Amino acid sequence: MAVNKLFSERLEMWLKSDQPKTLADLVAVFNEKSFAVSFVVLLILPALPLPTGGVTHIFEIIAILLALEMVFGRKTIWLPKRWLKKDISAIAQRKAVNYMIAKLKWVEARSRPRYKHIVVNEAFLRLTGVLIIVFSLTAFLAPPFTGLDTLPSLAVVAISLAIIFEDLLLYLVGLVFGVVGIITVLILGSAIFNAFSLL
């Protein structure tokens, strides 16, 4: 069966298994559309309404590097061996797994291929890489402990799921999340910075 019909179940099995949680293992398990799957896994934790305390910054940096590879048209993921062996088990926190899988299944049940020829177009995917860089960088620069990284991270997750499910409508939803997220980070982030400057 296609990856889009099995994605949430396969991800759930991988997250709850005892096997190693590294980027190399992720690519080995989800070799189809490995870029999109990697973005989902890397950004899904900051996309959840749960405190992360900045622990996900390394994930956002890796997402930016992978998105750069998309911009340059790479078909397979390349990272230094040290990065590929990076432990990403933080995403498998038991308290978060059930919540994130439930949300993924909800999206999966309502998604279907829409305008697939656009979503799989190479030029479109390169543009997607640019958007993922912008949204991931916004999440990275959001003030810590404020939750402002949630919307831009959610944008990356939604756009990546849209590529997996080949659904342009879901892609547009992710784009809206991203734009609103950038505006929110700029406005509220600036207000928080100014408030601390007055102390």
To the question of pTM greater than 0.85 for the whole model, the response is yes
Domains of the chain: which residue ranges? Answer: 3-197
CA pair distance 72, 134, nearest whole angstrom: 16
Phi, psi at 167, each rounded to 5°: -125, 105
Tokens of 179: 């734009």
- State how far the alpha carbon of 103 is from the alpha carbons of 17, 157, 166, 199, in Å: 19, 11, 18, 40
- Is the C-alpha dihedral spanning 10, 11, 13, 18 positive or negative? positive
Helix (H, G, I), strand (E, B) or coil at 167: strand
pLDDT of 130-186, one tens digit each?
Answer: 999 999 999 998 877 677 888 999 999 999 999 999 999 999 999 999 999 999 988
Mean pLDDT of 11-37: 83
DSSP conformation class of 143: P
CA pair distance 102, 98, nearest whole angstrom: 6
Could you give the dihedral angle defined by the CA atoms of residues 46, 70, 102 and 28, in that order, rounded to the nearest 10 degrees? -110
DSSP conformation class of 146: S
Site of tokens 């990065």: 83
Q: Is the pLDDT of residue 3 over 50?
A: no
Most confident of 24-33, 51-60, 68-77, 97-106: 68-77
